[in-house]
Structures are given as structure tokens and as C-alpha cells.
Amino acid sequence: MSATPAAIEAALGKVDDPCSIAARAPMSVRDMGLVRDWHVEGDGTVVVTVSPTAPSCILMSSIADGIEARVAEVDGVENVRVEIDTVTMWTPELMTDAGRRTLDDRRAASLLEVPVRPREWERR
């Protein structure tokens, strides 16, 4: 039995982006837009390509480990390989609609907690 696309997408949706957790806007690597592509090879290997949010991201190995663990749980997956795309730059436009809503909600809540406006220093 081969892995279904829906099952792989669901597994990717269970891998948390650690920086979004630290920012109190938890979302998956899929919603964050880190997953660039994935495919299943003939031998049942799932290859997932991800991009870091910044070249200096020190958590990509943890993210890759999470992807490998979750996708390996999918029936029909024999192996998982995570490839890191260091050429393509991540932008917020790559986030899913759900990811953007999560981030927007967190930003709105932050403004209520600490009512500072962007470039407020210019007004003083």
C-alpha cells in the first residue's frame, strides 16, 4: 500500500515550527510555508524539500528530524529524506492562509499587551 498525499500532508501538518512556538504563534512547518515540495519515489521513500526562514536558522536539523519522524509514521512510507533548499528565500507570502491568520492574531494580541506602534520612535 502506498502512502496517500492526504496522509503525508496531514503528517507535515503535525510538525511544529519551533520559532513560531517561541513567538507564541504556534503553527506547523506546512502552515509556516517551510515545505517547498514533496514527492514519493518508487521505493516508498518520501522526499521533502524545506527552506529555512533565514540562512542563519539553527533549528533546521530539529525541523528535519520532526519531519522524518512524523512522515515515517504514515502507512506505506518506507523511508523519509529531507532536503534543505538553501537557495530559495522564504517569505511570509509562502505561509498558508491559516498560518497568516495565526500570525495576524498573535500580532494583534501583542499590540494589546504592549501598545507600541511600528516606528513609534519617530513621533516622539
Domains of the chain in start order, with CATH, are: 5-109 (3.30.300.130)
Q: How many CB atoms lie within 10 A of CB 70?
A: 21
Task: Measure the N-to-C terminal CA separation of the chain; round to a whole number of Å.
Answer: 65
CA distance 107 to 95: 15
CA distance 37 to 12: 11
Please give the chain's pLDDT, 124 residues, in tens.
678 999 999 999 999 999 888 888 899 999 999 999 999 999 999 999 999 998 888 999 999 999 999 999 999 999 999 999 999 889 999 999 999 999 888 888 887 777 777 777 787 6
Alpha helices in the chain (DSSP H): 5-12, 18-22, 29-32, 60-72, 97-113
pTM over 0.85: no
